[in-house]
Amino acid sequence: MTLSLACLSAEAQRPPAFQPNYDEAQVPAYTLPDPLVLADGRPVKTARAWRTKRRTEILELFQTHVYGRNPVRTPKPSFEVTSTDRLALGGKATRKEVSVFLTGRKDGTKMDLLIYLPNDVKKPVPAFLGLNFYGNHTIHSDPGITLSPQWMRDSAELGVVNNRATEAARGKRASRWQVETILARGYALATIYYGDLEPDSAEGWKQGVRAALSPDGAKTEFAPDDWGAIGVWAWGLSRALDYLEQDREIDGKRVAVMGHSRLGKTSLWAGAQDERFAMVISNDSGCGGAALSRRQFGETVERINNSFPHWFCGNFKKYNRNEAALPVDQHQLIALMAPRPVYVASAEEDRWADPRGEFLATKHAEPVYRLFRKGGLGVAEMPPVNQPVGDTIGYHIRTGAHDVTAYDWEQYLNFADRHLGK
């Protein structure tokens, strides 16, 4: 089976990287690699063949050409619950803070996991897990959340001064997390500042996990398929799941991993590698996330590699202005979640992230879900705004811009109710 979408213009008409294309008529003709054809050309006809052969092939291709591969051996993390408040948020929740020592040693690299659990709900409960951009203290105004001591980008709006969070930062990103709504629906919420794992800059690896896990601690060059920052952040989500699996108040078999923007790319890569995640959610993840790279719409492979050279592996740069040569595309990344539920969300004004490309990626993952007799989107065409679609694959495009909103969370919670139960 060949997945081919012909458009009006050819590669020669592609606009320069600094002038993103927002015209569907200028999307080049492209052919997607088939998720159900093995490298040797044989078709994949059964769920068993997918699990034992094709899934392994595709995962290896993403490790080699896009995200890089994790170290073969990493230390077993250790955990310490540093605070517990059973009467948080006016008695509605239990708040826990957990230090996750990523090298297993208390004097090594650590990340701080913030957890809210609903009170007066039978335990264990399902949970949402995600990374945040500006510290755990930004997801809610709760004064009991420890203020992150980590380096952050200066932002007067977000209460960061001289690269350090201030008290003014509390709750500055609360709208993106909808804590009370999540708790009221019977779910726990767990989150980590992504900078705990690796600061988001080209030199950030020197203060993060990649340096901590380097044999000599001072590696200055990476192999072309070594993991980038997205790989590190995804690895950290799996280490958080290690803890959630041992917390008796959380059902470790019902944890949904969720991320927005670059952290949506991260949640997809985490879910692709770690099948313990019961559900995977991508919010406005765009290029290198849920959007098809071959469309070259909005942000392109070249643009993302030039702007954020540390996110992906070195090999990914070979596909700058050369997307057609990529042996994979993002519909195959979504297919790696099968048969688990996966939800992709777009925003109408977020053309940079290519909403149509995100929809098409979910659509072209459907054949893999059919092997497992699972429903996909259930529609042939991209739905109108604010009209969610899908069965085991979910999708919506909402009104508004690049953000996580209460509307998005309503859809994720509805999707979780269907697939994770309460």
Catalytic residues: 261, 402
Contact at 8 Å (CB) between 255 and 278? yes
Q: Which helix (H) or strand (E) holds 360?
A: helix 355-363
**Phi, psi values for residue 256, rounded to 5°:** -100, 130
Give the whole-angstrom CA distance, residue 104 versus residue 78.
5
Q: Which helix (H) or strand (E) holds 414?
A: helix 406-419
Query: Across-strand partners of 279?
Result: 256
Buried b (16+ CB within 10 A) or exposed e, 199-217: bbbeebbbbbbbbbbbeee
CA angle 54/59/65 to nearest 5° reads: 125
Give the whole-angstrom CA distance, residue 235 versus residue 286.
20
Q: Identify each DSSP E strand in 247-359 by its residue range.
A: 250-260, 279-283, 342-347
Give the whole-angstrom CA distance, residue 383 versus residue 400.
16
Query: Across-strand partners of 280?
Result: 257, 342
